[in-house]
Amino acid sequence: MDLVRLEEKLELVRRADYFTILGVGRDATPHALRDAADRLLASFAAEGFPGPLEPELERKLAEIREVVSEARAILVDDELRAEYLAGLGEGPRNAQQGVAR
CATH of 3-97, one of 1.10.10.60, 3.40.50.300, 1.10.287.110, 3.20.20.70: 1.10.287.110
pLDDT digits (tens, 9 = 90+) for 62-81: 999 999 999 999 999 999 99
pLDDT at position 83 over 60: yes
- Rounded alpha-carbon distances, angstroms, from residue 86 to 31, 93, 94: 22, 11, 10
Q: Where are the domains of the chain?
A: 3-97
Angle between helix axes 3-15 and 55-75 (nearest 10 degrees) is: 50
**The pLDDT value given to residue 92:** 55
Whole-number mean pLDDT of the chain?
Answer: 86
Percent residues over pLDDT 90 in the chain: 58
Pairwise CA distance, residues 42 & 35, whole Å: 11
Q: Say if pTM beats, i.e. exceeds, 0.85.
A: no
pLDDT tens by residue, 44-53: 998 887 778 8
